[in-house]
Amino acid sequence: MRRFFYSSDSNYDHSLLSTQLATLPLGSDIELPDSIVHHWCRVLRANIGDQGVLFDGFGGEYQVALQTISKKHATVTLLAHINDDRTAPFISKIGLVMSRGERMDYAIQKSTELGVTAIQLLSSHHGEVNLKPAQVEKKLAHWQQVAIAACEQCGLNRPPLILAPVSINDWLLKVADNNQEMAISPIVTALSQDTYYQRLQQPADLRMQLSVPALGQPAMPELLTVTLKQSAPYIELLIGPEGGLSDYECLKAAEVGFHPWQIGTRVLRTETAPVVALATLHALSH
């Protein structure tokens, strides 16, 4: 059954959506945003009576049936609520230095499939990508859509928030000051106010920096296994670019509490590191 993200933000796709699905009684008819109409009704050629699933990021999802279809509009009827929570057993934010093209899309897509809660986009001394101010809105919307599409495919019903890029030094200063403001795409503005995502604005229970393997460094912070035994712990990860973080950036990360974490003896690519780190956290938390 096809799954689609239904945004309750009124700016999404220039539609007139203005409510969470949970506020509507079963049997209600709702209008679909342009993106779902295009994909489901025009590309996939859905017919009246076909069933699908909508999720809005506030938990669970809704089985729906197509009620009306016109050239530019379509409505569905809410049939049933499915109270499945497929989020990870931990809250996670990845501070990820941006890479080029498909590698960045891959990192966001796979991190989403593994249940990341948020990705803070970063620029760094050795990074390949520094967005101009005019590029930020478009790229942020693109990467948020990559995350949403991954949710639609994998079954996750709370999409991660993709946070607007800042320099790694500015981000570490905010971490030190516990100033975890969230600059995000309008697509997910409403979600940022939900209790689940508000945890991201509090100090993390553990911060770890994925580091290049080096002699004399512990492979894994001692606090990791202890932290994962807590109820819904919040873990922040810092992942550098292909060239690695500079010595100064590593020093500043250590000063605000990021512990070095070596995963194996090989140097991982920047798009591989988030996948391996999140998969490891899942394995250790079970």
Query: Which helix H or strand E contains 223, and what residues bound it?
Result: helix 223-228
Q: What is the mean pLDDT of the chain?
A: 90
- Whether residues 235 and 127 fall in one domain: yes
Identify the pLDDT of residue 159.
96
Q: Nearest CA to 253 among 170, 195, 190?
A: 170
Do 20 and 142 fall within a single domain?
A: no
Kindly state whether residues 165 and 47 are assigned to the same domain: no
**Boundary-marking domain end, from 35, 52, 82:** 82
What is the C-alpha to C-alpha distance for residues 239 and 274, in angstroms, rounded to an integer?
7
Where does a domain end: 25, 47, 82?
A: 82
User: pLDDT value at position 134?
Assistant: 86
Structural domain that includes position 75: 3-82
Phi-psi region of 210 (alpha: psi -120 to 50; beta: other; left: phi over 0): beta
176 and 212 fall within a common domain: yes
pLDDT value at residue 104 = 95
- 65-79, 214-228, 243-257: least confidently modelled range: 214-228
Q: What is the CATH number of the domain that holds 149?
A: 3.40.1280.10
| Token representation of residue 168 | 């790694």
Decide which of 220 and 198 is more confident: 198
Task: Give the DSSP H/E element, type plus range, for residue 30.
Answer: strand 29-31
In a shared domain, residues 221 and 135: yes
Identify the CA nearest to 117 among candidates 232, 263, 276, 3.
232
| Percentage of residues of the chain with pLDDT beyond 90 | 69
Residues 186, 251: Cα–Cα separation, whole Å: 34
Say if residue 75 is in the same domain as residue 96.
Answer: no
* One-letter identity of residue 247: D
Q: Are 37 and 12 in contact (CB under 8 A)?
A: no
What is the reported pTM? 0.92
- For residue 240, pLDDT over 80 is answered with yes
| pLDDT reported for residue 213 | 65
- Nearest Cα neighbor of 21 from 54, 65, 51, 52 is 54
pLDDT per residue over 77-133, tens digit each? 999 999 988 999 999 999 999 998 899 999 999 999 999 999 999 999 888 888 888
Total of domains in the chain: 2
pLDDT at residue 156 in the model: 95
113 and 192 in a single domain? The answer is yes
* pLDDT recorded at residue 9: 59
Q: Which of 61, 82, 103 is the last residue of a domain?
A: 82
Mean local confidence (pLDDT), 155-172: 95
